Structure 1
Amino acid sequence: MLVPILGDFAPGSPQTPSVTSMQQAFADSAAEYRVPKSVLLGVSYVQSRWDTHAGVPSVSGGYGPMHLTDARTALAQAHRNSAPHSQAGSSAAISGAPLPEGPPPEQMTTLEQAARLVGISSRRLRTDAAENVRGGAALLADAQRQLGRPLSADPGDWWGAVARFSGTTNSVAAAEFADDVFAVIRKGVRRTTDTGQQVALAASPGARPNASQVQAVRPAKAPHTDVECPATLACDWIPSPHVEFGDDRYGNHDPADRPKDQKIDYIVIHDTEDTNQVMIKTVQDPSEASWHYTIRSSDGSVIQHVKTKDVAWQAGNQFINARSIGVEHEGFLAHPDAWYTEQMYRSSARLVSYLAKKYGIPLDRQHILGHDNVPGPTASTIPGMHEDPGPYWDWRHYFDLLGAPLRATAGPDSELVTVLPDFASNKPVFTNCAGHDEPCPAHGSSAVRLYSEPSEDAPLVHDEGKHPGGEDSTLRVADMGARISTGQTYAVAERRREWTAIWYLGQKAWFKNPPAHPTAVGATGRMVTPKPGLDDIPVYGRALPEEDAYPADVPVQSASPLPYELSAGQRYATQGSTTGSYVDSGSGFDDAPHRVVVGNDVYYEIQFGYRIAYVRADDVDVVRADG
């Protein structure tokens, strides 16, 4: 059986519909179906941020700005576990065992329902953004009628219909969706969509849901009180095993008593590079890695696996593991349109905000890390470090949702800059999304490419750790050797017209930064630089205690500098210091918290390359950036 899983057109093809005014489409559809325009705009924004995703369906088979779901597409997406992942934005088909028989769930057939209500084909609803909006309006009006509610002009009377439109059968998740929609309505939003459309929702601060509708949907209390989640988030508990199995091996996490025995400094953002179903099986296997939370792409539901007091094996760096919480997101870094859904972003931001507040973790890019920002602990580990969530994760939007928007904090001539490209229009070329050297489909990105000279014809900067022996950096989607990312802060080395150079892995690295459309903005903060008299200083992937700090029965860990040089005159941004520490796992399996060896040596965490790194405080002076 062949089942189409992507849209009926490729981006830029002649069949791609041309929409002259999405703003008008929302106004016309709201009037036709007597849905308040703010409600229609708000629902669409929370579903898709008004994007079309070039006809690529989400993991749940949702199409267009209203995310109308097609059952066959959704089932085919779920059926792809054993099949190669197709290139995002291209036409593709997949063969396999027959799909499940019987009627699909109602929440997977909103495209078909909308087609019946508006009297047009499902194909047109997938490919025509304006008709997709019209279909969404018809569904909202139908939901309102089914609830026995009038087609009122008051947005507050539509909270129940909005909750139903979410498509989830989980009452916490449905209430969360409706709350998000009404928060957007109250605050208002303006955005340029992925097709270049200017769409705006005017703020309505007085828009409040009807209390009786809220009480009918929202549960009196969260159904799972044993998970560490905010009460407004749909969370469950599927534990990761801490057990011994054969040959003195155990898995798949370590008991601890954080933050009493070890401060939690970081939250690490991952993507799974597999489906949610596979990852839930993986995290229950004691021979596999572990992490604290998994977030499902289709609806943003959260599952906790390891208590935050304990150490999960998730970052590929034991020092970071001991000080972090790992959050996995169902998805593939090379296929963001299908998997990095708005509901997943919002659930993740809600969870991370809760955890950051609970443990006092700063909401910045030296503490909210991608897995791709975690340093290799030693030189030999660098080439194998992970690359997720990759260049298509929208860090700017994510920090907006965290309530810590990224912005300029100094003037354009500052000594520090924060990377802040416009995600939608920043489309660097990447290759190998489909496993070969062909260019990936053009897509908005958080990444900015770095050159050895102020020219796009110059070679990319070299990363000796990632490419030892002089091998060049590449354009591959999983190669971070010559790039920086939104929210990261770097010290300026030089400026020439539209180009800015930063200190990066011990060298000058150039990126295009035109004043009219800046790629990076001025920042305040602190920097470290080698103390006078030191030609260069070592850089580390972990902050270990000094030799004298180790008890006699704990093996001393080698400091093992990374293969880079931080030379005199160079400067690197720092967000703070830490004391060297090491968690001793002992001789084997033990249910008691492992011993933490704490030294006196102080290190500064720095933004050294794409990944963070550490330098000894005794080797550097700390200077304040001139804004």
Structure 2
Amino acid sequence: MKTIKTPAAGLLSATLASLLASTALAAPPQAAPAAAEDAALNQRLQQEEARLRPQRAAFAGHFRQAYARYPAIPAGTLEAIAYVQSRWMHLSPEPASEGGSHQHMPRAYGVMGLYHGEGFADQVGEGARLLGVPAARVIADPRTNILAAAALLDREIRASSPLARPANDDIAAALAAYAGFSSGDAPVARSAVMDFAHTSFAYDVLLAQDRGVNDRGIVVPERAVRWEHAFTPAQLIQQKAPFVRLDVEADRVITDQYAIDPVSETLMRTAPAGGDKVQANADVGIMSTDYGPAIWNPAHSSNYTASRSASVSAVTIHTAQGSYSGTISWFKNSSANVSAHYVIRSSDGQVTQMVRNHHTAWHVRSHNSYTLGIEHEGYVNNSSWYTSAMYNSSAALVRSFCSKYSAISCASAYSGPASSGINVLPTSVKIKGHQHYSGQTHTDPGINWNWGSYYNLLNPGSGGTTKVLDSFESSVGHFNTSPAYSGSTTGISSASLAERNCSIRHNGSCSLRVLLKDNTSSSSSWAVRLLSGSGSPSNNTSLSRSNGRVGFWVYSAGSGMSVAVGIDDSDGTERSTSRSLAANTWTWVEWDLTNSGHWNAWVGGNGAITAGSVTLDAIWLYRAQTSYDVNVYIDNVTVKN
């Protein structure tokens, strides 16, 4: 491990930090300057954030009013639904504001993403009826939109729960019934409501609360979820629910059928019943036969062709213009007349396959016969949907295509600038967006898809010898959970937070601020496992062990801090040796993936990095117990080979 320190910085302030950032410093080799299109994308994202922050700040007051009016709704639930449905953006699905004519599923309206018929439930109309207001007001006014959603959810809670003030994980069935995927006036039968799409919606709402969100003006309060209380074991396996709040060193959950995987920290079946597929819902298998990590959940047979007229030779990247669960539900609707082979969730990169690879999905008109289609949850005009977890998961899926189909080369993927219109590319470009094919009207994945970064994920090593995993210029990146989220963390309170900060930074415009607050009910020293990708290897970028080093810039605004990293290896998780930090100065810390002297065995590990490809599990922060708050800033998490 190598350490490089800058001169002491004195008092921590925005002005002085700005001076520090501009000072010439001894530093490790840096990545090549960002391409012009990457700089343009970052600028667009910053402009988007500036535009949306005032709107998002206003939503908080509307949520408070809704909770006062409907006290049975657990605090944080409405914020989480808004996050799942719209990423806190008031949806007005006209062509000009929603990325052209890309709309092939029922439209959602407002910050709560309420449906208005078109094959799904008329949540707008029913919410308006419950409030006694015109439907147009529910569509146009954010406050009324939130109140309408609250009225609908309150009705489902009262119908399904005997509790006057239920907890968040008491209302999974109510959330599933609320989802709005049914059509017609008849209520969804309670026995059928927890199908896969409805379960996915309820799960995603609870996941947003379990993790908490504090990014770009979106704030979903963190509230722990009792997953085993909300869902069945089979549903938890399907959804890959996180049991990260357990201490993986000390806690064990093992029965005759289930255990916690110590690396992914999700529930797994140890004794499959009736073969190698676990059935949580009647038609949903836990594994796809085409792509092992995917869930198999078939689209309705009227929405695809059960054959191919040409061999597979290209991949089409889509943005769904809707939620993960809504997209899955729509592809299972017999009247949809549309489908894709795969759907990917934004929050954690979960993959659901809905059409077999050797069948023809209906997703790109005259090019259906030879293409594989991937729908990515979200909307083209809101970059908050395009998470590191989704990019990593999508790239892993496409890399599997490149290894399976000789006509598809990952090196032939598009890597140019994103655009918001139709931009037809030659047929030699085998991996490209819907907007890049001839004869199309849809403009996805649109202006916010980072093609350069995606190309590098498809072609590991193509980005040069240095790869920045997280720069924090436009989001918190892989570090999307709080410092206290992991059960392996000790000494700090749940009031601790991790958020993007654009006042203190080493490179670029922003860094990750980690605020550590003492847990006054404990005298334990601080050992903080700040998770990357929520601690799941599938949510993280693959790192090559060969001549590899992982490091980052770190600034401690208090004395006594030290840092380390955790790496998910093939046999478990290894934890690096720790390094003490000087206070009030930027320090570069780095560990050699090939040097066993830099690593200690942690959970299931052997004290050395042995796999050819690994992932970053966490950054560890240590300090003796103190009653003072401590701020730590992290910038440019990097791997070099």
Band the TM-score falls in, shorter-chain normalisation: 0.3 to 0.5
Bigger Cα Rg: 1
